[in-house]
Amino acid sequence: MQTSPAATVFPSGPSNLFYQSRLQRPTLDRAEGIYIWDREGNRWIDGSSGAMVANIGHSNPRVLAAMRAQMDRATFGYRLHFANEPAERLANLTASLMPEGLDRVFFVSGGSEAVESCLKLARQWAVATGQDSRWKVIARHPSYHGSTLGALAVTGYAPLSEPFAPMFTAMPKIPAPTCYLDRDNYTDAERGLRYAEMLREEILAQGPDSVLAFIMEPVGGASTGALVAPDSYYARIREICDEFGILLIYDEVMTGAGRTGRFLAAEHWGIRPDIVALSKGFAAGYAPLGAMVAARRLVEPVLDAGGFMHGYTYAGNPLACAAGLAVIREILDQDLTGNAGRMGALLKAEMTALMDRYPFVGDVRGKGLLLAFEMVADRETMTPLPREWNAHARLVEHAYARGLVVYSRRTRGGIEGDHILVCPPLIVTEPQIGEIMERLVASLDALAAELGLPRG
Ligand code: PMP
């Protein structure tokens, strides 16, 4: 049923628009639930919720109605001139969903801005409380925290940061807990502690008084392909941060708003971060929106000392906040977090079963509906497929040609692997998981045939 992607590009002539590459895709026409149509009438399953964004599905009528109602009143009022009700209500609702004490909400327009805000609030808190020596933010490798220069400084993904290296101060990195690659005799719990100890060692090496914060994705996103650490890791990281008075920043841009089966991924381990970054599922693609949520004990000294020296013109935009408010209500009213847990377990089981059929599927991982599998040359040694095969991108194209959108990445440096993220909207049903798997299997068969990969 699918035509080749290039056939449905609009406009047909040269375009003035550009993104990262010359890749051209068909033109979006409409989207509903988990499905997207192009202008030719071809239909895709949004198997990655875009870039893990469209968590409540497309064209939700209640969200659209809330946005229309707000549009009829006001779409903009500058925050320094007017407060607005959607922003106030969304801040209160968000705070009510956070761990105790995390109740100060700062709105932004996306994930990178949310991360920038976390870094700058942390630094201003240190300055305001007489800890000027603290400025280093330790991060992990691989990781992804955004594309602005501050967010890049904490991102562990060389291809994205290298060209800009002279323009920012790269922050120290410790290895992300890629335990699935370790061939040793430790238990998972022991491995988790060993990886956490690397933070302690790095703090000591940097000098504890110079370290401001540690930032991590509680479940890895595109950078690691849904990497989950052993349970022991999370609590130990919190302890280490506390030992040295270092702030713990959770980048929940991808994991937040229910994607992993809890509103925040932090809840799985009962962790209370000091600052949280949210975006993506927070407004689920209905508006460009993100938030930083910070502990009151950090914000108050900053405001007392003259104010937070940071802000964006579109912050707290009433239309974006009305969308976010309706999205969060939908997540709560429809228990989409619960559905993410239930459907995630089902999808993960089906994806794990792929390992019987395809020896080149080496690992299946993730939490809730943040799921991924990794393709390898040898499952025993976890040797990656040759980079030049570009297997992840090929699989994406095979799936795309079969009406399924999935998201992939080859992580370079640190760990090498072709990951495919399968992350449908949280409204996905059991029959729809069947549709996704059917297309995925057909795509893996096509890839195996193309690359001469073995089938079980
Ligand atoms: N942090 C994480 C964990 C992300 O996954 C992303 C986006 N992929 C970002 C930050 C940056 O978000 P944005 O693209 O909205 O700026």
Residue 23: its pLDDT value, please?
Answer: 83
- How far is 378 from 381, CA to CA, in rounded Å? 6
Side-chain-side CA neighbours of 413 within 13 Å: the count stands at 16
- How far is 85 from 348, CA to CA, in rounded Å? 40
Domains 5-56+335-451 and 62-333 share a fold: no
- Structure token pair of residue 186: 């430790």
Q: Are the CB atoms for 275 and 249 separated by under 8 Å?
A: yes
Name the residue ranges covered by the structural domains of the chain.
5-56+335-451, 62-333
Regarding the domain delimited by 62-333, which CATH topology (the fold level of the hierarchy) does it fall under? Aspartate Aminotransferase; domain 2 (3.40.640)
Q: Considering only CA atoms, which residue is closest to atom 1 of ligand 1?
A: 145
Task: From 48, 145, 152, give the residue whose CB has the most ligand 1 atoms within 8 Å, as the site to mutate.
Answer: 145
- Structure token pair of residue 36: 């997207």
Task: From 49, 53, 280, 407, give the residue whose CB has the most ligand 1 atoms within 8 Å, as the site to mutate.
Answer: 280
Considering only CA atoms, which of 439, 51, 456 is closest in space to residue 223? 51
Residue 450: its pLDDT value, please?
Answer: 97
Regarding the domain delimited by 5-56+335-451, which CATH topology (the fold level of the hierarchy) does it fall under? Aspartate Aminotransferase, domain 1 (3.90.1150)
- How far is 144 from 17, CA to CA, in rounded Å? 25
How far is ligand 1, taken at its centre, from the CA of residue 107, in Å? 15
Q: Would the CB of 155 count as within 6 Å of ligand 1?
A: no
**Ligand 1 atom closest to residue 222's alpha carbon, by position in its atom list:** 5
Residue 2: its pLDDT value, please?
Answer: 43
**Ligand 1 atom closest to residue 290's alpha carbon, by position in its atom list:** 15
* Predicted TM-score (pTM) of this structure: 0.96
Q: DSSP code of 278?
A: E
The answer for residues whose C-beta is within 8 angstroms of residue 102's C-beta and 6 or more apart is 95, 272, 273, 274, 275, 276, 293, 294, 295
Predicted complex ipTM: 0.99
Task: State the distance between the two ends of the chain, measured CA to CA, in whole angstroms.
Answer: 29
How far is ligand 1, taken at its centre, from the CA of residue 146, in Å? 5
Considering only CA atoms, which of 456, 454, 455, 453 is closest in space to residue 391? 453
Q: Are the CB atoms for 43 and 403 separated by under 8 Å?
A: yes
Considering only CA atoms, which of 17, 25, 240, 252 is closest in space to residue 138? 240
Residue 96: its pLDDT value, please?
Answer: 98
Residue at 157: amino acid letter:
Y
Residue 12: its pLDDT value, please?
Answer: 62
> CA 27, 35, 112 angle in degrees (round to 5)?
70
Q: Are the CB atoms for 337 and 426 separated by under 8 Å?
A: yes
Q: Would the CB of 222 count as within 6 Å of ligand 1?
A: yes
- How far is 423 from 260, CA to CA, in rounded Å? 10
Considering only CA atoms, which of 403, 344, 410 is closest in space to residue 375? 410
How far is ligand 1, taken at its centre, from the CA of residue 40, in Å? 31
Q: Would the CB of 145 count as within 6 Å of ligand 1?
A: yes
Q: Would the CB of 392 count as within 6 Å of ligand 1?
A: no
Q: Would the CB of 51 count as within 6 Å of ligand 1?
A: yes
Task: Name the stretches of the chain with pLDDT < 70.
Answer: 1-13, 412-415
How far is ligand 1, taken at its centre, from the CA of residue 72, in Å? 31
Q: Are the CB atoms for 92 and 110 separated by under 8 Å?
A: no
How far is ligand 1, taken at its centre, from the CA of residue 237, in Å? 22
- pLDDT tens, position by position, 384-399: 999 999 999 999 999 9
- pLDDT tens, position by position, 301-346: 999 999 999 999 999 999 999 999 999 999 999 999 999 999 999 9
Q: Would the CB of 94 count as within 6 Å of ligand 1?
A: no
Residue 200: CB atoms within 10 Å: 18
